[in-house]
């Protein structure tokens, strides 16, 4: 296993070191700015939360060249990697990838952008590094099957941050592979229960991933890193199982960044298909008293069945909360998971009548689909059923455009200049002569 992991990591490192932005296929070149726009928007929205502002004050970050996106200041590379990483995921709005079973972009973009600002790297180099971060993380996500109960934040994705930062530093193939391997030796042993319990350590796992990836790249730049097939021991021994061949399957021809999804609900992606189905049923159920809502889903989403919650995070990981909110309010935005809406008696009461069950026929459709089937039974004896194959926003099911993302982010961030600046930065970055000033403009709220 470790020998195969060593060889595959070496091949992946050589590919990453040789990648040139101008040689990337046009559909991929078009997709990266859209993913970057989404990630920057999620980060800026997270930065506005009172708890994120309190964290920044308690952290007391050192001044530096890297912006806290929407956070009102520029700080050191290390602090930006940590704090932007946390802000990106704390509202559950950032881009994800069903084949990687997690969030490749969030694992590495904060570290790459912070380092790019420090280096004032040119746009093509920065874009290539971001793409490398995504593709490497996604491939490690495909290769890793975590043990039951494990959460994907902070484990396989450290390799993406390491690869992206190493590519940005201009390291050769062997050194990039060493950085990736070192990142594979720095995973977090994260348990899904922390998210269900509403423990914000779940968000910190993403800050740790970005910071650890940055450290791995710097170790490789110093000549202190080696490729020894570490993933075979950590991801494949301690945390789950690992298939090294997935690291290099269709390398250079399949681009996972084109296969991801954007999110319109501020909640775990496993809850989205059920919320979408309820929103489709909602008009026909106006004025009808609901007896029960059955959500049939796949096994990945089975654990999100709690009907009690005590903070934002635990609510965002409760399918009953999300379904009840969608049914009663017509949307699941960030405002739904803060008091007093968080404890709205009407939402709490309906959520108590939401039941979650695994359906074998839906489970069999993974990973190409993440389906849900919702059955609403009303007190007059009627049954209303709707099934969706994937959440809205998946590239395979009502994909969101730049205009859609702009609308969503304007709703989150208001009518100020920040949404436009985020879109402008994401669009201009790949061709910029230097990215420091461009990124620096994003610090302003």
Residue 387 is predicted with a pLDDT of 98
- The reply to whether 311 falls in a domain is yes
Shared domain check, 94 and 8: yes
**Among 364, 388, 412, which residue terminates a domain?**
388
Residue 87 is predicted with a pLDDT of 98
Shared domain check, 283 and 254: no
Could you give the CA distance from residue 345 to residue 375 in angstroms, rounded to a whole number?
A: 23
- The reply to whether 83 falls in a domain is yes
- The reply to whether 394 falls in a domain is no
Residue 229 is predicted with a pLDDT of 97
Residue 121 is predicted with a pLDDT of 98
CA distances from 151 to 141, 145, 195 (A): 12, 11, 8
Shared domain check, 361 and 304: yes
- The reply to whether 216 falls in a domain is yes
Q: CATH number of the domain that 305 lies in?
A: 3.30.1330.120
Is residue 1 very low, low, confident or very high in pLDDT (cuts 50, 70, 90)?
Answer: low
Mean pLDDT of the chain: 97
Model's pTM, two decimal places? 0.97
> Coil, strand or helix: which one is 375?
strand
Please name the residues in contact with 256: beta carbons below 8 A apart, sequence gap of 6 or more. 97, 99, 100, 104, 134, 135, 138, 139, 142
- DSSP assignment of 69-103 equals TTSS-EE-HHHHHHHHHHHHHTTS-S-BBTTTTB-
Please name the residues in contact with 50: beta carbons below 8 A apart, sequence gap of 6 or more. none
- Kindly report the CA angle at 102 between 199 and 234, in degrees rounded to 5? 85
- Segment 82-90 shows an average pLDDT of 98
Q: Can you name the residues that pair with 67 across neighbouring β-strands? A: 74
Shared domain check, 78 and 123: yes
Could you give the CA distance from residue 136 to residue 128 in angstroms, rounded to a whole number?
A: 12
- The reply to whether 397 falls in a domain is no
Provide φ and ψ at 75, rounded to 5°. Answer: -135, -175
- The reply to whether 396 falls in a domain is no
Is residue 445 very low, low, confident or very high in pLDDT (cuts 50, 70, 90)?
Answer: confident
**Encoding tokens for residue 15?**
């590919």
Shared domain check, 305 and 205: no
Shared domain check, 241 and 111: yes
- The reply to whether 54 falls in a domain is yes
**Encoding tokens for residue 427?**
């669009």
Q: How confident is the model over 343-370, as pLDDT tens digits?
A: 999 999 999 999 999 999 999 999 999 9
Domain total for the chain?
2
**Encoding tokens for residue 6?**
């060593």
Shared domain check, 112 and 224: yes
- Segment 143-148 shows an average pLDDT of 97
- The reply to whether 214 falls in a domain is yes
- Segment 54-83 shows an average pLDDT of 97
Shared domain check, 281 and 142: no
Shared domain check, 413 and 325: no
Could you give the CA distance from residue 372 to residue 273 in angstroms, rounded to a whole number?
A: 5
In terms of Cα–Cα distance, which of 376, 382, 325, 333 is closest to 349? 325
> Coil, strand or helix: which one is 360?
helix
Range of the structural domain that residue 290 is part of: 269-388
Q: How confident is the model over 9-55, as pLDDT tens digits?
A: 999 999 999 999 999 999 999 999 999 999 999 999 999 999 999 99
**Among 341, 356, 388, which residue terminates a domain?**
388
Shared domain check, 200 and 58: yes
Q: How confident is the model over 206-232, as pLDDT tens digits?
A: 999 999 999 999 999 999 999 999 999
Q: Can you name the residues that pair with 387 across neighbouring β-strands? A: 373
Give, as one character, the DSSP assignment of residue 284: G
Between helix 418-428 and helix 402-413 the angle, nearest 10°, is 140
Asked whether 167 and 177 are in contact (CB, 8 A), the reply is no
**Among 388, 417, 434, which residue terminates a domain?**
388
Shared domain check, 422 and 384: no
Locate tokens 């506005």: which residue? 48
Residue 416 is predicted with a pLDDT of 84
**Encoding tokens for residue 222?**
């110093």
Residue 2 is predicted with a pLDDT of 82
Q: CATH number of the domain that 176 lies in?
A: 1.10.4100.10
Shared domain check, 230 and 192: yes
- Segment 110-135 shows an average pLDDT of 98
Asked whether 325 and 277 are in contact (CB, 8 A), the reply is no
Residue 185 is predicted with a pLDDT of 98
């Amino acid at each position: 296993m470790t020998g195969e992991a060593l060889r595959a990591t070496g091949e992946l490192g050589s590919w990453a070191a040789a990648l040139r932005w101008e040689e990337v296929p046009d559909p991929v070149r078009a997709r990266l700015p859209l993913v970057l726009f989404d990630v920057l928007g999620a980060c800026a929205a997270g930065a506005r939360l009172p708890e994120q502002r309190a964290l920044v004050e308690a952290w007391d970050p050192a001044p530096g060249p890297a912006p806290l996106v929407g956070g009102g200041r520029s700080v050191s590379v290390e602090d930006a990697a940590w704090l932007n990483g946390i802000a990106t995921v704390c509202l559950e709005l950032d881009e994800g990838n069903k084949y990687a079973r997690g969030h490749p972009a969030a694992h590495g973009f904060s570290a790459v952008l912070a380092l790019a600002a420090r280096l004032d790297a040119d746009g093509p180099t920065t874009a290539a590094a971001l793409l490398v971060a995504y593709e490497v993380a996604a491939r490690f996500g495909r290769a890793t099957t975590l043990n039951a109960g494990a959460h994907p934040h902070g484990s396989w994705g450290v390799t993406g941050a390491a690869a992206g930062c190493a590519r940005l530093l201009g390291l050769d193939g062997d050194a990039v592979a060493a950085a990736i391997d070192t990142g594979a030796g720095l995973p977090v042993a994260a348990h899904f229960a922390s998210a269900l319990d509403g423990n914000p350590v779940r968000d910190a796992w993403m800050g740790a991933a970005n910071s650890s990836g940055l450290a791995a790249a710097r170790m490789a730049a110093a000549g202190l890193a080696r490729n020894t097939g570490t993933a075979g021991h950590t991801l494949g021994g301690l945390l789950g199982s690992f298939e090294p061949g997935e690291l290099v399957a269709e390398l250079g021809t399949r681009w996972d960044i084109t296969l991801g999804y954007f999110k319109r609900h501020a909640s775990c992606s496993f809850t989205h298909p059920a919320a979408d189905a309820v929103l489709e049923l909602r008009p026909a159920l106006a004025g009808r008293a609901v007896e029960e809502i059955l959500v049939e889903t796949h096994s990945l989403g089975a654990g999100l069945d709690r009907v009690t919650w005590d903070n934002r995070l635990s609510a965002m990981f409760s399918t009953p909360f999300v379904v009840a909110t969608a049914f009663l309010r017509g949307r699941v935005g960030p405002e739904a998971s803060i008091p007093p809406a968080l404890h709205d008696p009407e939402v709490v009461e309906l959520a108590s009548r939401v039941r979650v069950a695994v359906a074998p026929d839906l489970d069999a459709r993974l990973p190409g689909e993440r389906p849900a089937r919702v059955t609403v039974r009303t007190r007059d004896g009627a049954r209303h059923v709707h099934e969706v194959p994937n959440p809205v926003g998946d590239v395979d099911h009502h994909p969101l455009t730049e205009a859609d993302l702009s609308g969503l982010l304007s709703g989150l961030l208001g009518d100020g200049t920040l949404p436009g600046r985020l879109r402008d930065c994401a669009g201009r970055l790949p061709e910029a002569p230097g990215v420091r000033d461009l990124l620096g403009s994003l610090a302003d709220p």
